[in-house]
Amino acid sequence: MLNNKYKLGFFPTALERMDNLSKVYPNYNLYIKRDDNSGLASGGNKVRKLQFFIYEALSKGCDTIITAGAQQSNHCRQTAAACAKAGLECHLLLGGKKPKNYNGNLLLSHLLGAKIHFTGDNRKGEDIIKLKQDLEVQKRNVYEIPYGGSNLLGAYGFVDAVKELKEQLLENNLKIDYIFFASSSGGTQAGLKLGIDLYDLDIKLMPISIDKIGLGDKTLDDVVLEILHQGQKELSIQKTYSIKDATLIRDYDKPGYGVITENEKMAIKQLAQSEGILLDPVYSGRAFYGMIDHLQNNKIEKNSNVLFWHTGGLPANFYYSEELLK
C-alpha cells in the first residue's frame, strides 16, 4: 500500500538545524524539513501525494488527470509537472477569471502543458464532475485528484514522510517535540498524524490554518478527522481518533486566504535573511509566522526541539511581488 508510488521527487528531503534563528530564539532549538527542495518544477509537499495519485492513475489505465485550486495553487503546478513526467494530459480548474498576464504558479502550470479552465468563485473543485463528464464523452479515461490532493491516498504521502523523518531522527540521535506546518486542505495534516501514530513517535503537531473557508459543507477539522478514521482502519492503527486530533490552530487565518499582511512579510524576511531559505506568502509564510508567535510568547515548552515543515511555494512570491515590496 505505502510502496505503491510513482517516483517523482528527490527524497529524503533535508532535515536541517536553523543555527542562526535558534540564536534569535534561544529558548528553542529550531529545525526545518526541506520539502521545498523535493524536486519536480520547484518542489513542494504535494510531490509526496502525487507519487501515490500518479501510480494509481497509471495502474487504472487513465490518460487524463483533473484537479483544482486557486490560480496560484502550488498543488496544481506540481500536478501539471507530475503529469508531464508521467505522460498524462492535465486539466486544471482554477478559481477566478483569466488574467491578462500569467505569472507565478499560473505561468509555470501553463509552461508545463496543463489545460487551464477558469472557474470564477469555484476554486475547490466544485466543477470537477462536470469537466470529467465532458472529457469522458471525448473518450478520455479520467482520474480525479481532489482539491489539495487531500484524501486518504494523498495522506499516505505524509505517512510515508513520517517514516522518512523517523529514519533521519534516528540517524542524527535527535528528538523533535513539535512540528509546525501549513494546513489548508487537510491531507498533509492527516498524513502526519497517522504517520506519527503508525511509527510510534512522540511529537505534537501544530497545524497552522491558512484558509478560514471550509470544503463545501465540511470544516477542515471534519475533513481531517474523516481521513484519520479511514487511515486508522486501513493501516490498523491501534487508536481511536476524535475531533481534538484534527483541530487546527486558527489564530492566524482571520485575514483570509491569499491576503498578505505584515505578519507574513516579516516571517518571509526573517527566514530569508537569517538562513537563506525562502518561504511563500500564502502558506509557509503564514505558518512560519504562527511558529514565530509561539516562540516569542513562549506558547510552547521552553528548551523544546521545534521543526518547521517547509511545504514549498516559492513561485507565488513573484505573483505577490508588489505587496512584498511595500
- Just list the catalytic residues: 73
Residue 279 Cα distances to 78, 97, 143, 223, angstroms: 17, 26, 31, 26
DSSP states along 178-204: EEEEEESSSHHHHHHHHHHHHTT---E
Burial of 145 (0-12, 13-18, 19+ CB in 10 A): buried
C-alpha cell at 310: 517547509
Name 134's Cβ contacts closer than 8 Å, sequence gap at least 6. none
Q: What strands lie across the sheet with 89-94, from one edge to the other? A: 115-118, 89-94, 64-69, 142-144
For residue 120, what is the DSSP state? B
Question: Rounded CA gap, 157 and 188, in Å?
Answer: 8
Q: Could you tell me if 151 and 120 are in contact, meaning their C-beta atoms sit under 8 angstroms apart? A: no
